[in-house]
Amino acid sequence: MDWLLALAQAVLFTLLAPLFSGWLKWIKCLLQNRRPPPPWQPYRDLRKLFGKRPVVADTASWLFPVTPYVVFCAAALSGAIVPFFAVDLPTAAIADMIVLVGFFALGRFFLALAGMDVGTAFGGMGSSREMTIASLAEPAMLMAIFTLALTASTTNISVAIDYLLDTGLALRPSFLFALGGLLLVAVAETGRIPIDNPATHLELTMIHEAMILEYSGRHLALIEWAGQIRLMLYGVLIANIFLPWGLAREFTPEALGIGAAAIAAKLGALAVALALAETSVAKMRLFRVQEFLGFAYLLSLLGMLSHIILEV
Amino acid sequence: MPVPAYSVYEQAILFIAALVVFTSFLMLGQKRLSGMIHLFAAQGALLAATTALAAYTLPYPHLYISALIIMALKVILIPAMLHRLIVRLDMHRDAEPLYLYGYVMMAAAALVMFSYYVVEPIEHLSTLATRNAMAVSLAVVLLGMLLMITRRQVVTHVIGFMAIENGLFFAAVASTQGMPMVVELGIAFDVLVAAVIFGVFFFHIRSSIDSLDVDRLNRLSEVEP
C-alpha cells in the first residue's frame, strides 16, 4: 500500500509538472497584458512533439539520442524522492538530498555532452555556459541544503521535514538565509529570467536553449518535460522544506487530501511570486551571473554561520 | 539548545542579530553611496527594534528612551545628514569601484568565524540565551573595520565607523540588557557630534585635495614637487 502510494506520488509529480509551468506562463502572460494560452498548453505541445519523428544529425554519436532518456529519467527519479504531498513514504528512505543534487548533476552532465556532441557552435557555447553556471550554483545549493541538514541532523528530506513539523514554528535566521540562497539557485538552475530566458532563442544570451537546439520530435519533448519537472522539483522542495505545514503524515484519505490541497496552494502561490519577479526584473548580462550566484553562495554561507553561531 | 526551546523574545533577538550581520555584508558589497546610507539606516532600524523588544520584555523602561534616541539619530537624522552632504558634494550618483570584491567577501566570512571563536569563552560566563549575539556584535564591529580598510571614499569610511558603533550598541543591548542611561546619552551625542564634524571634514578634504578619495592623501607633501 505504501509503495503504491509512493508510486502514485511519483507518477503524479511527473504528470503535473507541465501543468505547473503552464500555470506559471499563464500568470506571466496576464501580468504582461498578453492573452494567455490555457494552462494545459504544455500538454498539447508535448503531444505534438511526441507525434513527430526526431531528426538526428549525421555527425551525432550514440550519446545524442540516449541523452533525452537519461535526462528525463534523472528528473523523474528525483521527482520520486522528493516528498510531494506525503512524507514517510518508502521511497524517501532510499535517497537523500545529496542524491537529489547528484541527479541534477547527472542530467546536466549529459545535456552538456549532448550539446557538444553534434559539433555545432551553439551547442558548445551553451554547454560551456551551462557548466559555468552549474559550477557556481551547486556549492550554493549544497550549502543551503547542509544548513537544513545541520538543523535537523539528517540529510534525508523526509526525516528533516518530519523534524520541522514536530518542533513547530520557530524563527530560524539560518532558514531565512538558506531559503534566499535556494531561491536564487533555483532561478539560475531552471533557466528563469534574470539568468536565462526560456522563451527566446537569442544567440547572445541563451544558455539552456543553445544546448538543445539540435533536438526535435520526441527527444525534444522528453527534454522539455524534464525541464518542467526540474522547475516543479525546485518549487516543491522550497515549499515543503520551508513551509512544511499541511503535508500528510499518516495515510488516511483526509490527510492525503489536505496534503494535496496544501501543496497545490503553495505551488500556485509560488508560481505567482515567480511570475511577479520575472516580469519586474530584466534579464542580466551573462557576465553578471557570477555576481548573482556569488550572492546566493553568500546567503547560504550566512545561513550556515548563523546556525552555528546563533542556534546551537 | 534547539531554537524552538527559546522564548519568542530570544528567538526574535537572534533573528535580528542575523539580519544585522546581513546588512553589514550588504554594505561591503554596496557600490553606491546612497544605497550605503539606506543600508546604514536599515541597520539602525534593526537596532532600534532590538532595543524596543528588550524594553518590552525586560523590566527596563529606560530602554524605550534609548530605542527612541536610536530611531531619531541613526535611522532619521544621521542618514538624512549624510544624504544631504552627498547631494551637496554631488556624489549621490557615483558608484565606487570595489577592489578585490571576492576576497573581501571571503575575508568577511572569515571574520565572522573568527569572532565566533574569540567570543566563545566569554559566552560561557553568561546565562542569557541571547549571549550568542555577542559573536554577532563583534563580527559587525570587525566588518565595519573591514569596510573602512577596503574602501577609499571618506563617506564610506564614516559609514563604516558608524557601523562599528552599531555593533557595540547591539552587544550592549542583546547580551547585557542595555547600558545605563547616562552612558547611552553620552554615546548618542558623541555619534551626533562625530557626524557633524565629519560633515565639516568632507568639505575641508575636498577643498584641499579636490576629491574625497582618501588614497590621494598619500600624495600630500610639505614641499611642492
Mean pLDDT of B111-116: 93
Instruction: Give which of A293, A309, A311, A312 to mutate to test B binding, by max B Cβ within 10 Å.
Output: A309
In this predicted model, what pLDDT tens digit does every residue of B151-175 receive, in sequence order? Answer: 888 889 889 999 999 998 888 888 7
Which of B18, B102, B105 is facing A310, going by the closest CB pair? B18
Tell me the average confidence (pLDDT) per consecutive run of 10 residues in chain A, 312 residues long: 86 94 93 93 95 92 94 93 84 84 93 92 91 93 91 88 84 91 93 83 81 91 94 93 86 88 93 92 87 92 91 77
Q: What is the pTM of this model?
A: 0.90
Q: Three-state DSSP class for A86?
A: strand
Residue B190: which pLDDT band, with cuts at 50, 70 and 90? confident
Query: Nearest Cα to B172, choosing from B63, B77, B78?
Result: B63
Residue of A nearest to B103 (CA): A294
All residues of chain B having their beta carbon less than 8 Å from the beta carbon of residue A298 are 25, 29, 105, 109
Q: Which of B13, B15, B117, B136 to mutate to test the interface with A (most CBs of A within 10 A)?
A: B15
Residue A233 CB neighbour total at 10 angstroms: 25
Q: What pLDDT is recorded for position B225?
A: 58
Is residue A28 within 8 A of residue A190, CB to CB? The reply is no
Burial class (CB in 10 A: 0-12, 13-18, 19+), A106: middle
Which A residues 275-304 touch B at CB under 8 Å?
A: 294-295, 298, 301-302
Q: Please count the other Cβ atoms lying within 10 Å of the Cβ belonging to residue B87.
A: 12
Does residue B118 register a pLDDT over 80?
Answer: yes
User: Tens of pLDDT along B12-58?
Assistant: 888 999 999 999 999 999 888 999 999 999 999 999 999 998 888 88
Judged against a pLDDT cut of 60, whether residue B1 lies above it is answered with no
Report pLDDT for B129: 67
DSSP B5: G
Amino acid at A294: G
Find the closest chain A residue to B115 by CA distance. A309
Share of chain B above pLDDT 90, in %: 35
Q: Which residue of B has its CA nearest to A292?
A: B29
Split at pLDDT 50, 70, 90, the class of B209 is confident
How far does B133 lie from chain A, in Å, by closest CA? 7
CA distances from B31 to B26, B45, B98 (A): 10, 21, 7
B172 Cβ under 8 Å from any chain A Cβ: no
Residue A8 burial (CB count, 10 A): 15
Q: Kindly indicate the confidence band of residue B140, based on its pLDDT and cuts at 50, 70 and 90.
A: very high
- Position B201 scores a pLDDT of 85
**Cα–Cα distance, A108 to A119 (Å, whole number):** 18
Confidence of residue B192 (pLDDT cuts 50, 70, 90): confident
> A168: nearest CA in chain B?
B4
Facing residue for A305 by CB, picked from B14, B113, B133: B113
End-to-end Cα spacing for chain A: 40
Asked if A306 has any chain B CB less than 8 Å from its own CB, the reply is yes
B61/A contact by beta carbon, under 8 A:
no
Q: Which of B82, B104, B70, B88 is nearest to B35 (CA)?
A: B82
ipTM for the assembly: 0.87
Check residue B20 and give left, alpha or beta (phi > 0: left; psi -120 to 50: alpha): alpha
Answer whether A125 touches B (CB < 8 Å).
no
Cell of B198: 565629519
Interface contact B180, partner A, CB < 8 A: no
Helices (H), A51-207: 63-81, 90-94, 97-117, 121-152, 157-167, 173-189
Residue A92 is predicted with a pLDDT of 76
CB atoms within 10 A of CB A79: 26
CB-CB under 8 Å, B11 with A167? no
Coil, strand, or helix at residue B153? strand
Residues 21-60 of B with CB under 8 A from A: 21-22, 25, 29
| pLDDT confidence tier of residue B141, bands split at 50, 70 and 90 | very high
Rounded to the nearest angstrom, the minimum Cα separation between A71 and chain B is: 34
Contact of A177 with chain B, judged by CB distance below 8 Å, is answered with yes
Mean pLDDT of B148-153: 89
- Buried residues in A38-67 as b, exposed as e (16+ CB within 10 A): ebebbeebbeebeeeebeeeeeeeeebeeb
Cα dist from A266 to A84, A282, A291, B29, whole Å: 11, 25, 29, 33
Within 10 angstroms of residue A34's Cβ, the number of other Cβ atoms is 10
